[in-house]
Structure 1
Amino acid sequence: MRRYVMLAAAVSPLLVAAAAVTVPGCGEEFENICAFLNESNSCYHAFQNETTGKCWTPGAGKGPSGSFASRETLDVCFLDEGGQIVFDPPLDIAAFPPKTMAFKRLTDQAEECGAGTFSGEFSYSVTVAVPCSPDDIDAGVTECADAGADGIGKVGRTLTLTTPEGRSTLDVSCADGTSHHFNRIDIQECAEKGQDQLQPRAVLEASVGNQPPPDADPITTTSDKFRGFVKLSILYPQSRVITENEEKKKVVMSPPAVVEYFNCYIPAPSPLCFNGEKDGLETDIDCGGTLCPTQCDVGQSCARPTDCTSNSCMQDTSGFLKCQASASSASATTGSGAGAGGSGGADGSGGAGGE
């Protein structure tokens, strides 16, 4: 059972809403998440306003897109527009979808303009480099020491959201150094309709790609049909969107702003019969069997003569079926010479036969 503790009635309604706390039984107090997300002056919305367009452009489909060079090493995503998304540590395709990741974005001038971490839908951080403000310079911020009056230096602004596994709490650390403690369940009290549009969250989409068929051209298997991808988006609820409809019910009028942080494509897997592995019905690596058109060479495993280029599949000395050399090439060729018997004169002797 929750109890709500309110400030004195003399306090303004806005402050009352912001100061409301939930005590679920263990003395843990929570701020009013509805007031925090709906208030345009909150540090959460201040971060959005200050960083918009500085490294990432808001809007579905407007994030940086690129590709990894290979499936084996998913550390650098080369962006189509120039620059890179660098993952450290590299993503492991054998452990998709990733459960955690850390990344940074480099511009085409090799300058870091932003970074982020992800460890869950409600646990992530975003850092964006913004020009040093006069306040940063006056405060002696290290990154702004050489900024000067023109403010060309940059300083990172970081927003961090954390929800421990198995809990509904939400801790928010803002760029201005403030922190806030919420219960995400309380968001149901914001509105009867559109509650999900008020929930800050990260959306990770990932796929290792689809296996091309054996007859696919290994050079052209780069289409969306076969290649994989990893994509991270974050939904930022907008402020001042809770209103009351004609039925006196609270509704959320506007969807959250979407920021896509990267959409990186992963090269498609090599087609079966071209991937350097013994798969399925192959009798040996990329050859033989009913799957691959390529026949196996001498010494490779086989099941029937048609698996072999020599058309000869027999047990070798180990007792296993192997492609053997064809009869024509297996027969040894030995040369034999014959010396013609010479005939000499009366006192001569015949020549010796050649061996």
Structure 2
Amino acid sequence: MTGQIYSTEEMLKHLISFDTTSRDGNIPLIEFVEDYLDGWGIPHFRVDYEANRKTNLFATIGPAIAGGIVLSGHTDVVPVDGQPWTSDPFHLTERGGRLFGRGTCDMKGFLAVCLAEVPNFLKAGLKSPIHLALSCDEEVGCKGVRPLVAHMRDNLPKPRAVIVGEPTSMKVVNAHKSAVTFSTEVTGHEAHSSLTHHGVNAILVAGELLSEMSRIREDMIAVGDPTRRFDPPYSTIHVGVIEGGTAKNIIPRRCTFQWETRLLPTADPDYVPHRFNSFAQRLEPAMKQVAPETGIATAAVNSVPGLAPEKDSPAEHLALHLAGANSTHAVSYCTEAGLFQQIGIPAVICGPGSIEQAHKPDEYIDTSELRKCEAFMGKLAQQLV
């Protein structure tokens, strides 16, 4: 069976043309990929995240047996709203050896290479399979891929390794930080602003909590990164959104803020929430003396596990060989690699482009990066025959 042949740039042009901003879904792009794979007789299936709106696609090239290699990448992109693009973000534009468009770097460039290489994978006569895992909603907390990961764990022959194609300039990454998002709500007690002793100011209480977070931050900086591999070289805590209050002359009853931790793979995941909640509990008695309905509530909203280096990892050994490299790296951003590691599949990150270009206006990928990724995939096919 002979399907449509695309160069990597041609495939990337198609992928970029689909606006797959996380809030909107990815079905049209998935339908295009399904039609393409059908033309080559490649079996595939969907695992939905949101029915008829957001889905994951899994395809197998070669025999459906254990020990294959998964090439994993997300199809969703971040918004372009308010960004000063100089060209249409959903039309691939070439300028000076660079390809501009939303997702070119993060991470449709990797997907374009994988898909354009399908005919070559078939021609190689693989004895061990190459799997393609195209996921959704990675940009909002690696949420969409989770049903696919669970399906792979429960229903499919176990792969030997996963290569996540996030942009690393084709360097092999074997470690990244975790990311846990929290939401804290402070409930105070309203009163006239001239009668502060009759109220509980939720914003001021939140300010005390934020001061404790600053102290936690300083302590984590002092502990640092024993491996000296990460940038920044320590676990981090960050506040991204805060809101509260009604008017300047009303003691605010409510204040909420959204915050996150990005911890080193070796860090204790309970340290920050335990210390934060312990501090909050020390504030509450004075609040409740004024009004018993007051309090502080914190909930973990989402958690993405870190990727920890694994001794003698088959994923690491394979990727280093394919990339012609002799050392590994660590990154501070998150990927689905840690989710695969949690179900017992060794994983690394290695993909074309630089993370420095991701999420920006005029996002781009150098064509030279695509060529390096093509060479990587050619070596992969030869390893599996």
TM superposition score category, shorter chain reference: under 0.3
Larger radius of gyration: 1
Larger helix proportion of the pair = 2
Structure number having the greater strand percentage: 1
| Bigger RCO of structures 1 and 2 (CA < 8 A, at least 6 apart) | 2
Q: TM-score, normalised by structure 1?
A: 0.21
